[in-house]
Amino acid sequence: MVKIKVYGNQKVEGVIPISGAKNAALPLMAASILSNNGLKLKNVPPLLDVDNMLCLLENLGVICQVDQENTFANSISLKTDAIYNFLAPYDMVKKMRASILVLGSLLARYGRCKVSLPGGCAIGVRPIDLHLKGMEALGAKVELRDGYICASTDKGLRGVEYKFPIVTVTGTENIMMAATLAEGTTVLKNSAQEPEVVDLANCLNKMGAKISGQGTKVISIKGVSDLHWTEHNVLPDRIEAGSYMIAAGITKGCIDLQGGNFRELLPAFIEKMKQVGLTFCDIDGGIRVQTTGALEPACINTAPHPGFPTDLQAQTMAMLCIVNGESYITENIWENRFMHAAELARMGADITLTGHTARIRGVPLLHGAPVMSTDLRASFSLLLAALAAKGESIVDRVYHLERGYCCIVEKLARCGVVIDKIKH
């Protein structure tokens, strides 16, 4: 799928099953390397980024078997007793930054690895210095050579107290994975508290790791000598759920989201959406979200969990574009995550950017237009704007959507939404 044609003025009404979280599945897949005995993951979303991680693991020597559970989920068995390669090459890492997650597990289990530096990406510079400092604190020797991170350890990793200067999600995951096999206890301060970090820690504990404090700022990891096989269900994708909540908001629809406790996974986001005027009620196995009356403008600051997630900022902006009054969004995580603003403006939105704050003056109506996706969440924001707009829109470069939203056209079709895929 290259482009999608979206017909405007559509209402999203129906039931949407929420898939497993991409951002939980990727670190869990990398964690399989820590054990000689493999790992079985269930509720894995069939997504491009998951395929990319499978390619990377296969290249290392992991034997991967994918079985379909249903249209929206696979189970993946990872057999890890024959790893022979310790290189994550540039061609693979450049496709997906989360490849950096193999650093911690390769280093912990094999004492060496060579991983390409990921480089920047559309939403910001995205350095990985904190991953490297954490590995060094655990006793690894880290060198940067010819665009690669060459990491090794002579006597194995050893437990340490390490404080992240800023909160990093994959940084916390990487160091936590490395520390599971280190000698002694590691205490990670100012750790990320994201549910995906908790899911990883819970899976590692099922494999025999001794991790406590996950979900708080201080995570303690008592090193063990090896880990065993387990089976783990990937937690539901809170960002996919939040994105569809906004679909109900922007189209004045009603959606039953199935598959998780989304109040617990999205506390600040749901609180803010209630202030905007969306209503939520618990249903069997999920939550119902709907909009009936007029929506109110909002003031939003993105922040690490449990704050308002940056990964829902673009979608929220799309909705606020048609809310009467002035809204403000400050993006505090990524320095270049407002690229959707210019595309929304092509549809008639009134957005002024000053530094990392966007002022959004609500307009009565957006108009369909050809627009260009720049990254995963920005793509969804354009789709949302197009659903609510007057007239047709063509959203280009939607391969971004396929990286992180499972079966989007099929899920929306279940809610009566008509979207045409354009293959070229």
Catalytic residue IDs = 121
Q: Does 237 bind ligand EPZ (CB under 6 A)?
A: no
Angle at the Cα of 24 from the Cα atoms of 219 and 239, rounded to 5 degrees: 110
Which CB, 224 or 372, lies closer to ligand EPZ?
Answer: 372
Q: Does 333 bind ligand EPZ (CB under 6 A)?
A: yes
Q: Does 127 bind ligand EPZ (CB under 6 A)?
A: yes
Which CB, 124 or 325, lies closer to ligand EPZ?
Answer: 124
- With beta carbons less than 8 A apart as the criterion, state whether 64 and 77 touch: yes
- Dist CA 239 CA 173 (whole Å): 18
Pattern 380-419, ligand EPZ, x by CB under 6 A? ------------------------x---------------
- Dist CA 43 CA 75 (whole Å): 6
In angstroms, what is the minimal distance from the CB of 50 to ligand EPZ?
11
Pattern 360-379, ligand EPZ, x by CB under 6 A? ----------------xx--
In angstroms, what is the minimal distance from the CB of 3 to ligand EPZ?
21
Q: Does 128 bind ligand EPZ (CB under 6 A)?
A: yes
337: how many CB neighbours lie within 10 A of its CB? 25
Residues that bind ligand EPZ (rule: CB under 6 A) add up to a total of: 22
Helix (H) or strand (E) holding 408: helix 408-413
Give 72's contacts (C-beta < 8 A, 6+ positions apart): 17, 19, 45, 46, 406, 407, 411
What's at 235, amino acid-wise? L
What's at 215, amino acid-wise? G
Which CB, 46 or 404, lies closer to ligand EPZ?
Answer: 404
In angstroms, what is the minimal distance from the CB of 420 to ligand EPZ?
25
Q: Does 126 bind ligand EPZ (CB under 6 A)?
A: yes
Contact region for ligand EPZ (CB under 6 A) — 35-43, 107-115, 168-176, 229-237? 168-176
Which CB, 3 or 131, lies closer to ligand EPZ?
Answer: 131
Q: Does 327 bind ligand EPZ (CB under 6 A)?
A: no
Residue 141, phi then psi, degrees to nearest 5: -95, 125
At 144, is the secondary structure helix, strand, or coil? Answer: strand
Q: Which of 6, 98, 320, 389 binds ligand EPZ (CB under 6 A)?
A: 98
Q: Does 168 bind ligand EPZ (CB under 6 A)?
A: yes
In angstroms, what is the minimal distance from the CB of 163 to ligand EPZ?
14
- With beta carbons less than 8 A apart as the criterion, state whether 332 and 371 touch: no
Give 8's contacts (C-beta < 8 A, 6+ positions apart): 366, 368, 386, 387, 388, 389, 390, 391, 392, 393
Q: Does 195 bind ligand EPZ (CB under 6 A)?
A: no
> Which CA distances in Å does 261 have to 53, 91, 241, 256?
27, 37, 10, 12
Residue 60, phi then psi, degrees to nearest 5: -80, -15
Q: Does 311 bind ligand EPZ (CB under 6 A)?
A: yes
Q: Which of 171, 242, 249, 368 binds ligand EPZ (CB under 6 A)?
A: 171
- Interface residue list for ligand EPZ (CB under 6 A): 23, 26, 98, 124, 126-131, 166, 168-171, 310-311, 333-334, 376-377, 404
